[in-house]
A and B are shown apart, each in its own frame.
Chain A
Amino acid sequence: MGQTLAEKILSEHAGRAVRAGEFVIASVDVCLVQDGTGPLAVRQLQKIKLERVAHPAKTVLFLDHAAPSPRKELSNDHALLRRFAKKTGAVLSEVGDGVCHQIIPESYLGPGDVHVGADSHTCTGGALCAFATGMGSTDVAIAMALGKTWFRVPETFKIRVEGKFRDGVYPKDLVLHLIGTIGADGATYKALEYSGGAVEEMNMSGRLTIANMAVEAGAKVGLFPSDDVTTEYLRTMGRGDAFRPIAPDPEAEYERTIEIDASTLEPTVSFPHTVDNTRTMSQIRKMDPVKIDQVVIGTCTNGRLEDLQVAASILKGKKRDKDTRLLVAPASRSVLTAALKDGTLQALIDAGALVLPPGCGPCVGVHQGVLGDGEACLTTQNRNFVGRMGNPKGLIYLGSPATAAATALAGKLTDPREVI
């Protein structure tokens, strides 16, 4: 019987061949918690006197959601995580290092790994062909301490993408289109598995964007094959020896197959207040203009060098609309450094951007760009729920870095194809 990527990776970690629907105990290779979920995880382990980690070098505690800390309560939470790291030998990723889901692929994760994290966007690691999924603090605390957890092996939806992306259309538009088509609960409990010509040609930055949003369709994981793009990425990160090729078996069984022709896609935007409330630019052009008060480029979804470069190519030599704030948050220190070296940041700053420290930025509503009542924000992040950016009276629109840049120039939702 052929296996999907999810079945293959979980079989290796359960020590026996497993099929969709089975419950398994599987070993876990890489764990993360962050400053919003880590303190609870640590306290849970303290409660049952299990304050240890099974794999210290691959257990990472991230200070990224409130970085630097805006309040004493959060400073104390940071201190708790720093103490836990010292005590157990786990790795601490300090304020300013960047977002967990950027640093894990850069420095820790490899194809075929099982990765759990106390953050829903842990599924980002699926881009590297790792079974990567988000869980709560207690689940991850136990996985950190024991080096294993339980899973129900998910059924898989195959997402086959053929055709070439047109100019101005990006992987972000593809994933928003997919979620708009199947719905925010369209893949609940399932694995998504991407394949096809457009996927083979897609760089790691685009794959990470798509894998990051698997959870926005309810999925447990969004998996890409481990191929030439994977080996090239790992080599660039100085971890070439972490590579091994992994592909699904040809006769693997899929619950559903979804075909997408990339050449028919348009720039796509999620409207408030759910990710599946999508509209294409053709539809938006027929509407009354949507005024935007703040544009955010960054986050674990679209805060990579390639994302900032796309935005800079549109904004270079121009100015943001005077009534539209522009915030840019590189996803990690290495992204910040690279964007500084190649002139990308200078172009963004000259266009009127405020550059935030590497981290989650305004995405979680903790700090650095909380919306006012009735204000609208176009952001490259993954979520637009009521209250997400710190104010239940704020309006959040999701789009690609190109759409964000075009919108910052015009001060209203704008098709990037009008300015490239």
Chain B
Amino acid sequence: MEKMKGKAWAFGDDISTDHIAPGRLFHLRSNLPELAKHVLEDADPEFASKMNKGDFVVGGNNFGLGSSREHAPTIIRMAGISAVLAKSFARIFYRNAINVGLPVIICNTDRIGAADELEVDLDAGVVHNLTKKKEIPFAPLPKVMQKILEDGGLLNHIGKYGDFNLD
């Protein structure tokens, strides 16, 4: 995979799927391009208008907790975010992100500040913080998830093989 480069948008701990895609916008779930204009609105109302394609969302602990709504990682990806970095992820969000082809990286995000320029090398398992001149290593995804991400998400995986092909 190519290296990804962009700016960090720092959010704190416990960013829930309600912050990312709130229930008051329930009626937009079948209109994802419109919902994506509101991505992370309840954490930062101006985020969608400030971010640029290729940027990174950076969280603390337990990113994506709450609802199973896959719309949350989907609209982060649709908005053009290249990856989400956090110290830890909630289980369903983590699995959903891989399923929709959004890279999720577990690493020490204390070493990333707001607006830092980052370069992420998924193959080498390292985040280069170009602003702070620091390297932050991360562990590779479990093999099963790596395979799904490489196939472009779960739907493409099943579309390709007609079944799970994860061995």
Contact = CB atoms under 8 A, between A and B. Distances in A.
B22 A392 contact: yes
Interface string B45-85: 00000000000000001100111111100000000000000
B99 A387 contact: no
B92 interface: yes
A388 B166 contact: no
Interface stretch (A133-141, A246-254, A403-411): A133-141
A120 B142 contact: no
B95 A139 contact: yes
Contacts of A76: 30
Q: A50, A148, A150: which has the most chain B beta carbons within 10 Å?
A: A150
Contacts of B132: none
A276 B62 CA distance: 13
A138 B100 contact: yes
B62 A218 contact: yes
Interface in A367-419: 370, 383, 385-392
Contact of A37 (B69, B91, B99): B69
Interface stretch (B1-9, B115-123, B156-164): B156-164
Interface stretch (A12-20, A53-61, A183-191): A183-191
Contacts of B90: 185, 188, 218
Contact of B70 (A80, A136, A385, A386): A136
Most buried by B among A23, A138, A152, A184: A138
Contacts of A189: 91
A40 B66 contact: no
Interface in A59-92: 65-66, 71, 73-74, 76-77, 80
Interface string A209-229: 000000100101000000000
Contacts of A117: 68
A274 B61 CA distance: 13
A66 B153 contact: no
Most buried by B among A47, A66, A118: A118
B92 A36 contact: no
A395 B30 CA distance: 28
Contact of A47 (B18, B42, B155): B155
Given A23-B166, A25-B164, A387 B18 contact: yes
A65 B23 CA distance: 10
A364 B158 CA distance: 31
Contact of B26 (A65, A135, A185): A65
A184 B62 CA distance: 8
Given A73-B27, A148-B164, A185 B92 contact: no
A250 B91 CA distance: 28
A386 B19 CA distance: 7
A140 to B, nearest CB: 8
A287 interface: no
Given A184-B62, A185-B61, A188-B62, A387 B42 contact: yes
Determine the main DSSP class of A at the interface with B: loop
A136 B158 contact: no
A215 to B, nearest CB: 8
Given A120-B66, A188-B62, A142 B158 contact: yes
Given A185-B62, A390-B23, A48 B155 contact: yes
A370 B26 CA distance: 13
Contacts of B69: 36-37, 136
Contacts of A185: 61-62, 65, 88, 90
B114 interface: no
B139 interface: no
Contacts of A338: none
B154 interface: yes
B124 interface: no
A119 interface: yes
Contacts of A184: 14, 62, 65
B74 to A, nearest CB: 8
B115 to A, nearest CB: 23
Contact of A386 (B16, B143, B153, B164): B16
Contacts of A77: 29-30
Contacts of B28: 73
B26 A39 contact: no
A146 interface: yes
A388 B69 CA distance: 13
A120 B67 contact: yes
Contacts of B19: 385-387
17 contacts: A23-B143, A37-B70, A118-B68, A135-B95, A137-B70, A138-B154, A138-B155, A139-B96, A139-B154, A185-B65, A185-B88, A185-B90, A220-B91, A383-B66, A386-B16, A386-B43, A389-B23
Given A47-B155, A71-B27, 15 more contacts: A122-B68, A135-B96, A136-B70, A136-B92, A136-B96, A138-B96, A148-B164, A150-B166, A185-B61, A215-B92, A220-B91, A274-B14, A365-B23, A383-B66, A386-B18
